[in-house]
Each structure stands twice: as structure tokens, then as C-alpha cells.
Amino acid sequence: MSREGRKIVLVWGEIEKNEIGMTTLELLNVAQALVRALDGEVHVIFVNPKTEKELCGQAIFFGADTVHVFDMPGRSDLTWETCVAIVQNLVREVSASILLFPHTLTGSQVACQVGFSFGFPVVLDCVQIEIEESSGNLVVTRPVYGGKCYGIYTLLSESAAITLHPKSVSPARKEESKKGKVFFREIREDILQTKVRLVDVIPFEFSGPKLEDADVVVCGGRGIGGTEGFEQLKELALALGNGAVGATRAAVNEGWASQEKLIGISGKTVAPKLYIGVALSGACQHIIGMKGSKIVVAVNKDPEAPIFRFAHYGVVEDYKRFLPAFLQTIRSRPEKGGENDGR
Amino acid sequence: MVCVKQVLDPELPMDQFQIHPDKKHVFIPNVSALTITDYDEVAVEAAIRIKEKIGAKVIVLTMGDRGATKVLRHCMAMGADEGVLVSDSAFTEEDRAITAYVLARAIEKIGDVDLVLCGRQEADWNGGVVHYGIAHFLGVPCCVPVKAMEVQDRIIRVQRIKEDVIEILDVSLPCVLGVDTEYGEPRLPTTKGILEASRRPLLTWNSQALGVEPGHIKKNVALLELFVPVLEVSCEFIQGDTVEEKAKLLAKKLRENLVL
């Protein structure tokens, strides 16, 4: 499938809302840079995409040379173990040597299992993936110590399985003139893995927009003190125009907010236009999940709270006093800054 | 069987956090600054609850040097039965595959392990790959992150947190699970537990005891350097005599930035 001796970079593809997913576009950007340095080809794999499978072919416009779509109609209970087996087969078939995954749960799970099975080095959550010109080695940068610092690593192998931290690089640009090949393939019964069986799926209760996509994020921390405080944050998020509420690890551990609201190293990464951090200290583990935000506002009664070092605007005030006043101010201007903001 | 790890206390304030001049280590002020990874402590709690419910022997395993015995004693004081320390200057932490390989060899040496629990990730190198590596070298399935578990006959039923859903999965035993802090609060050791734990012996194994030859697995990952990112911005503090004044001023600033 590939010309002799060319390096194959394999990207794990995902579909979101009937489009090639943002994480996939970010990976394709990295993959294109790698194949330019290595004289290689970019392959993308989609497993059981929840969409018209023809849509996956659009990955070609974003830099894929070959797209493989594996499908098993009527089966929505495939576990990651089966995904691992499918990727393993494809890696052998096309001799892929660099495997790129998004740093999502499934992404890291498949990356680890496939990577280890081939003896590839496995590195997760990278913010930068490059080829060192002098040596031709892969060099990756990733957060360590909960984001307090970053480590730069050289991979002493021509192969690797790597996950990319969301929103660390820009997405690949679309070029409709690009050409490539698309293969549609059925997932064979005999590849289904049985050591793990999916019994049931329980969705989290949802209200409002998804955290990762929201233009406004209001996040609460340990100082919020309880679930009532989070109701107040929700009110503010709605008043600011369909914003989403997030939480720090401390607040999730207290049970004031559910896991899917967690922003930070073990949760989600957000990069909204406006982020408001309320009664949270600003631990590195959290900062790493919100540092891409355009405007950061911090509300905390402790002027020494580290979050102020990452905020454009700081309000030293008890949130219980400040938020009602702020809500009233926003609501008293229903024209939403209409007269002179030039939008 | 629980794998735990001693780490620099993540709550340590940033001004005490220093990178060693060789740029490859983080400066550890003293042993008291070392603590158990919070996720790992929850994994120990999960193991003890299984022991209380259906009966089990809980062995805690760690690889390391400084602070490692302190962490093992802490787990034993919580209720773990035995502690095993794997320690050798030949063991590197840079390539987490090697850590996983060494831990897997130790688990094989212990023998007849039905369930391996780890924290979902370490608090220092944030590899998040060691549990998968252990599972690979043992040839068993691995499931991460788990918020609830119930041992049934030859399977364990787990709740796994996926981005926007919780999956209920039956995983065949033996297996490796990475436990999330959502599982529940770890218990505090009792005075009696601390006393008893301090009297019990710890097993210590080096590379020879495990039959791990240097270079058994090739080191594939090398740390070049550590650096502290500069992402701080200068914060404009919103001034005002009353909260209302501050609220109005903040709203004005946000409108100027076109985000309100």
C-alpha cells in the first residue's frame, strides 16, 4: 500500500458532529509536519464511525494520503480491546511506525496497548511532537509534575505511539484539491475481543453546551463550598450567553460537580473566549486545562491565590458577594454592549 | 495487589518547586515532602474494601528509593497485609515501559495475583502508561479509569468513566485496573494500624532477585531536560469601594475585550 521504505504515520481518526473531529485535525497537522521531515505518508484509521462512512474520506482534504474505514454495521458495543486488535492488524499490514492518537481515554488506551504490543516507546499527553533535524529522532514535550514543569524527551527508536494533548497545536487546513485513497472494510467477527464486555452505558445528565465547545466557561473550586454555589455559577454561565460550568479536581472530589465537568490534567482542556475562575486556587493541574483561554478572570478572596498570576483581570472578593452584583450588572444591560463595541 | 508510588507532594507550593541544575530532576527538599500519589491511596482503599467484603490478601508494591518505605508503611497501616519494595539503581524512571516491566516481574514473582490495582496516573511523571505496561507484560486486560468495582466469579464488574458517559464493563480476571479518586475517600490509618505496620517486615527485591538483567528491555525514552513554562500574565486587579463598583468595572473591561 505504500512505496518501499517510506515512513508511515498512522493517525487515529474521530468524527464529531458529522465532521472530521477537531482532535483528528490537530493530529493531521502534526502528521503532515512529520512526513515532510521523514519523507513519509499519512494514513488515517476510523473504527465504526457514527456517521455516513463516506464522510471519513474528507480526511484527505486535511492531509491524509490513505484513509481506512473499518465498519461493523449494527454493532455499537465494540470495546477498545477490539479497536486495539484492528489497529494492530493495520499497523502490520501497512508497516506503520509512528502512531498518533488524541489524548482522550480511548486514544490513550489504544495507544498504550498497541504501542506496548509492538515494543514501541509510548508517550502520552504531548504538547509538541517534532523530528530533530540532526538525528532524525522524534522529540516530544509533555507536562510532568501535574503541569508544574514540562519535560523534553528524545525517543531512541524509529517507531512510537504518542498521544497529543488537545488544543496544543492548530488544526490542519483544508485543501480540496488534495488526492488520496479511501478503503472501506468490514470488521470481521473473529477479531472481536472478549476479555472485556460492555454491559451498559449510562450518559451523564447534560444541560447547556459541551465544556470543550463553549465560548464562555465559569469554573468553580474548593472555595465554592457546596452544590448551591455551583447553581450560582450555572446562573452566571447562562447569563453570559450559553456558557458552560466547569470544576476543579477539589470540587469534583467533594461531590459538588460531576466528573465530566472536570477541567485539568485528568479532565478536559478548554480554550474559551472568556474563562472565569471562581474560588479556585489555580493549581498547576488545573491551569494546564485552561491556559488556552483568551480572557481569564479570577474571583478569589485570597489576593495571594496563584490563579491571579494567570488571570488578565482579578477580583479580590468573596464570590458570594461579588457574583450577585456582577449578575445584576450584566442583566441590567440587555442590549449586550450593543451601542459602541463595533461588532 | 496494589502498585503505589511515592511522589513529591503535589500540594507543595510553587515557590518550593525547583528543578535540579542538571535539568533532569526535581529538587526534593526532604523525605517529609514525599507522599503517596492520591490516586494510589484510593487504589489501596479499594483493595482493602474488597478484602473486607469477600476476603483477600492485599500486597502493596512500589519501585523506588527515598520515601518508598514510608509509603509502604502507610498502606500497611491502612490495612494492607504485606509490602514489597523493588529497588535498584539500574531501574530508570525515564522510560515507563521499563518501570512496568520490572513491576510485572515482581507481580509474577509474588504469583497467583487475581487483581492488580493502580492509581489512574502518577502525580509526578504523569506517565499514565505504567498500568497498561504491567497489563501488557502480564498478558491481561487493563481498564482505566475506574470509579466503582465489584468482584464476581471470574470477572470484575467495573464502572469506567469515559468522556461523557459511564460504561459498565465486565472484565475477566486477572486484570489491571487504574482507580480514579471518584471511587471514594481513602481511610486514615488507626494508631493500632500504624503500630502494627511498623513491626511487620517489608520485602525488598533488587534486579537480581527479579531476574532482570540490565538492558533486558531497551531504553527507548530519554529525558533531555525539564523546564518551567512561562505562561503568567500580568493581572489587572479590579478596584472599587463596593462590590457593585467592582462588578460594573469588570463588566466594562470585558465589554472592551468584546467577550461580553
DSSP line for B37-101:
-HHHHHHHHHHHHHHHHH----EEEEE-STTHHHHHHHHHHHT-SEEEEE--TT--SSSHHHHHH
3-state helix, strand, coil in chain A (%, to 5): 30, 30, 40
Query: Considering only CB atoms, which chain A residues are within 8 Å of B243?
Result: 317, 321-322, 325
Give the sign of the dihedral formed by CA A58, CA A63, CA A65, CA A67. Answer: negative
Give the pLDDT score at A206: 60
Query: Considering only CB atoms, which chain A residues are within 8 Å of B186?
Result: none
| pTM (predicted TM-score) | 0.83
Subunit contact B171:A330, Cβ cutoff 8 A: no
Q: Which of residues 193-252 of B touch A (CB under 8 A)?
A: 218-229, 231-233, 235-238, 242-244, 246-248, 250-251
Give the pLDDT score at A285: 84
Q: Tell me: pLDDT of A337 over 90.
A: no
Subunit contact B145:A105, Cβ cutoff 8 A: yes
Q: Tell me: pLDDT of B91 over 90.
A: no
Subunit contact A156:B220, Cβ cutoff 8 A: yes
Q: How far is A177 from chain B (nearest CA, A)?
A: 35
Q: What is the ipTM of this complex?
A: 0.85
Q: How far is A338 from chain B (nearest CA, A)?
A: 10
Axis-axis angle for helices B38-54, B68-78 (nearest 10): 30
Give the pLDDT score at A336: 46
Give the pLDDT score at B213: 78
Share of chain B above pLDDT 90, in %: 41
Q: Tell me: pLDDT of B88 over 90.
A: no
- pLDDT band (50, 70, 90) for residue B17: low
Which residue, B228, B223, B224, is CA-closest to B17? B228
CA distance A189 to A176: 36
Share of chain B above pLDDT 70, in %: 88
Minimal Cβ distance to B126: which of A116, A144, A203: A144
Q: Tell me: pLDDT of A284 over 80.
A: yes
Q: Tell me: pLDDT of A321 over 80.
A: yes
Q: Tell me: pLDDT of B93 over 90.
A: no
Beta strands in A88-148 (DSSP E): 98-102, 122-126, 128-131, 138-144
CA distance A73 to A50: 10
CA contacts within 13 A on the Cβ side of A284 = 23
Write out pLDDT tens, residues B138-159. Answer: 999 999 999 999 999 889 999 9
Minimal Cβ distance to A325: which of B17, B161, B247: B247
Minimal Cβ distance to B244: which of A259, A283, A325: A325
Query: Considering only CB atoms, which chain A residues are within 8 Å of B250?
Result: 297, 313, 315, 326, 329
Subunit contact B129:A259, Cβ cutoff 8 A: no
- Among chain A residues, CA nearest to B12: A283
CA contacts within 13 A on the Cβ side of A304 = 3
Give the pLDDT score at B111: 87
- pLDDT band (50, 70, 90) for residue A338: very low
Average of per-residue pLDDT across B244-253? 94
Minimal Cβ distance to A310: which of B168, B231, B236: B231
Give the pLDDT score at A171: 95
Write out pLDDT tens, residues B31-40. Answer: 777 778 888 8
Minimal Cβ distance to A311: which of B181, B222, B235: B235
Q: Tell me: pLDDT of A342 over 50.
A: no
Q: Tell me: pLDDT of A49 over 80.
A: yes
Give the pLDDT score at B137: 93
Q: How far is A121 from chain B (nearest CA, A)?
A: 6
B162 and A CB contact within 8 Å: yes
Average of per-residue pLDDT across A244-262? 91
Subunit contact B220:A322, Cβ cutoff 8 A: no
Name which of A173-177, B21-25, B168-172 the model is least confident about: B21-25
Q: Which of residues 30-89 of B touch A (CB under 8 A)?
A: none
Share of chain A above pLDDT 90, in %: 67
Query: Considering only CB atoms, which chain B residues are within 8 Å of A333?
Result: 251
Mutation for testing the A interface, residue in B45, B144, B221, B242 having most A CBs under 10 Å: B221
* Residue reference for cell 527538599: B29
Name which of B129-138, B164-173, B205-214 the model is least confident about: B205-214
Q: Tell me: pLDDT of B14 over 70.
A: no
- Among chain A residues, CA nearest to B255: A337
- Look over chain A and give the mean of its residue pLDDT values, rounded to a whole number: 90
Q: Tell me: pLDDT of A69 over 90.
A: yes
- pLDDT band (50, 70, 90) for residue A53: confident
Query: Considering only CB atoms, which chain A residues are within 8 Å of B126?
Result: 124-125, 142-146, 265
Average of per-residue pLDDT across B109-116? 90
Question: Any residues with CB less than 8 A from the CB of B260 and at least 6 apart, and which?
Answer: A240, A274, A330, A336, A337, B251, B254
Write out pLDDT tens, residues B204-220. Answer: 998 888 888 766 777 88
More confident residue, B253 or B258: B253
Question: Any residues with CB less than 8 A from the CB of A146 and at least 6 apart, and which?
Answer: A265, A283, A284, A285, A288, B10, B123, B124, B126
Write out pLDDT tens, residues A5-35. Answer: 789 999 999 998 889 999 999 999 999 999 9
Minimal Cβ distance to A321: which of B132, B229, B243: B243
Give the pLDDT score at A334: 53
Average of per-residue pLDDT across B191-200? 90
CA distance A24 to A99: 13
- pLDDT band (50, 70, 90) for residue A138: very high
CA distance B212 to B105: 8
Average of per-residue pLDDT across A43-67? 92
Subunit contact A112:B244, Cβ cutoff 8 A: no
Give the pLDDT score at B222: 87
CA distance B60 to B46: 12
Write out pLDDT tens, residues B121-132. Answer: 765 665 688 899
More confident residue, B22 or A97: A97
CA distance A14 to A44: 10
Query: Considering only CB atoms, which chain A residues are within 8 Å of B238?
Result: 313-315
Subunit contact A295:B257, Cβ cutoff 8 A: yes
More confident residue, B18 or A151: A151
Average of per-residue pLDDT across A250-262? 89
CA distance A118 to A169: 27
More confident residue, A259 or B121: A259
The DSSP element (H or E) to which B249 belongs, if any, is helix B243-256
- Among chain A residues, CA nearest to B252: A337
- pLDDT band (50, 70, 90) for residue A184: very high
- Among chain A residues, CA nearest to B11: A283
Subunit contact B97:A116, Cβ cutoff 8 A: yes
More confident residue, A316 or A336: A316
Q: How far is B199 from chain A (nearest CA, A)?
A: 33
3-state secondary structure of A147: helix
Write out pLDDT tens, residues B47-67. Answer: 999 999 998 899 999 888 777
Q: Tell me: pLDDT of A207 over 90.
A: no
3-state secondary structure of B118: strand
